[in-house]
Structure formats: C-alpha cells, structure tokens
Amino acid sequence: MTVKPTGELIHLTVLLDEAIEALDIHDVRANGTYIDGTFGRGGHSRKLLQQLGPNGRLIAFDKDPYAIANAEQIHDPRFQIMHDSFANMSACLEQAGVAQVDGILMDLGISSPQVDDAERGFSFRHDGPLDMRMDTTRGISAAEWLAQEDEQKIREVIENYGEERFAFQIAKAIVARRAVEPISSTRQLAELVANAVKTREKGKDPATRTFQAIRIFVNQELADLETGLAAAYEHLAPNGRMAVISFHSLEDRIVKQFFAAKVNVEQPDRRLPIRTVDLPKPKMRLLTRIKPSEQEVQVNPRARSAIMRVAQKIEGAN
C-alpha cells in the first residue's frame, strides 16, 4: 500500500513545549536515545530532534500508514520510524539494537487529520466509510465488526469503552438496522445512535461516546496502552523520564494507576523480621501533572481534555 503524506489537513500538537521540557533533555542527556510512542504528524518528534545533540537518537512509532508517510519526509540520521504500535516496543527496540532509552513520550490522542479526513471514518461530523482503523493495512473495520458481532458484545463495548448509559438501546438498534441494511457509513451510525439516545448531554453530540467506544475497541487502544506502559518502563534507563498525554478518563486512569503502582510499592507485614534496607522501594517518582493552558485551548479546542503525567525511574529500580 502506497500512502502519500498529508499536507492539506492541519494538526496542532498538544502540550508541545511542556512535553519536551518534561523529558529534561540537556547536557549529556542530549546525546541519549529517546522514544516518541506516537509520531502522529510529527510535532513532538521534530521538536525533540531540535533538542538532541549530534549523537542523540530518536525512535518513533505509529500504526497509521499516513503518519509513516509523513515521518519518511524527515531526513535526519538520528531519526528512525517504526510502522508498529508502541505495544510492540520491546521487539522493535531489540531489532534496532537498543536496550535502554533516556526518555519516552506517549501522546495517546488521535491526530486532527485522522478525525478530519472523512475517508478514515473516525468522526460523526463527516460522512464517510465506517472504518476507524489506525492501521488501514490490517485488522477489521468498524463496519465489519458491527456486521458480525453479537448484540451483547456490542453493548459491552459501548458501555465499557464509551461509558454510555444507553448502550443497551444503541446495541439493539444496531442489530435491528443491520438486519435491514449494512451499516457502512459514519452518517448511518451517527443517525442511528441519535435516534436511540433519548437524553442528550449539553454541548455533546449523542454519537460521541459510541464512536469513541468502537474506535477504542477496533484499535485495541487500552490493551496496547497497558502493554506499552510496561514495555516503556522496562526499557527506561535509571533517572529516565516518561511523559504520557491522555485524552479521556479511561486512558488517564490506566496511566495514573500504572505510575501509582511504581511509586507506592506494597510493603510486607511490619511484624515480619525484615531489615529496613531490604524493604521494597519505590521504582518511580511522580514529577508533575499538566493540563493545557487556557491560551492553548483557545487556539486548539481539542486540547481541552488532555492531561500529561510525568514520572521518573529511580536509580537502582528494576
């Protein structure tokens, strides 16, 4: 599959300066190795390359062929793009001959070109094929999944990944409609959901939660996140930093709990004869939690829900 880089659709990188600052790239660390877990349209990667020294190295990941096409426009010997999910970081780093990295950035948001391109099927605002795959070269589309999945599973996905209280009614409507005609376009699904959702949230399209849920499921986003966080920690060098930008509560909860588990290490019963020096120690320290400024949100409303959490691996942690 040949994909041309997109130039007509604009993407504003969220928390650009804050994310680069969080990785603390300076002095000897400027010649270290860093990871951009989601290249997107390259805002963070290009800024990172500006901060790296002549011997620095940046490895970026992305599942989207369009992102890969954009990344291939960067002609910098310090940069390498991997057409894969950050969930497969360990295998990819082994292939690249990298054991440890000095900093990892994971921006979990979908890019504006993905949302704004009707052909990708991510948005209910633009009529197009109901696809929703980040990687259009593999897996099944949202339309294919809705055509073959049973009603109970559809309800569970919409309820669990979209936190949609009308999941039962929506799933029932989907199964009833597909018996008459295939649900193959974003407009069909959006209209179906609008008819099934009787109480609407102020300022939010009734299809928002359903589209989010199906996109998350089709792309296995939460499972990839859990695997990716674990792999990122394993490859992070002592004193290395990890910054993760999430855009909805399900993602942020996973990130928050992951960091908390590394910071608040479970201690054994105090009555046991264990020396203080042998007690389990924290593996990471929390550094900061940052949200976009009011000014950034005014320029880029899609940044409103973003939260970046930053943690540092403690020397001697395993």
Determine whether the annotation assigns residue 17 to a binding site: no
Determine whether the annotation assigns residue 42 to a binding site: yes
Determine whether the annotation assigns residue 126 to a binding site: no
Determine whether the annotation assigns residue 37 to a binding site: no
Q: What distance lies between CA 247 and its chain's CA centroid?
A: 8
Q: DSSP readout, 165-191?
A: TTHHHHHHHHHHHHTTS---BHHHHHH
Determine whether the annotation assigns residue 114 to a binding site: yes
DSSP state of 119: G
The whole model's pTM is what? 0.89
Q: With 50 as the cut, is the pLDDT of residue 171 above it?
A: yes
Cα within 13 Å of Cα(318), Cβ side: 1
Give the mean model confidence (pLDDT) for residues 291-296.
96
Residue 266 in contact with residue 280, Cβ under 8 Å? yes
Q: In angstroms, rounded to a whole number, what is the distance separating the alpha carbons of residues 156 and 264?
A: 32
Determine whether the annotation assigns residue 32 to a binding site: no
Determine whether the annotation assigns residue 86 to a binding site: yes
Measured CA distances, 142 to 133, 134, 166 (Å): 7, 11, 19
- Quickly name the fold that domain 16-112+221-313 has: Rossmann fold (3.40.50)
Higher pLDDT: 233 or 275? It is 233
Q: Where are the domains of the chain?
A: 16-112+221-313, 138-218
Which tens digit of pLDDT belongs to each residue from 87-131? 999 999 999 999 999 999 999 988 777 777 888 888 888 899 999
The domain made up of 138-218 is a member of CATH 1.10.10.10: no
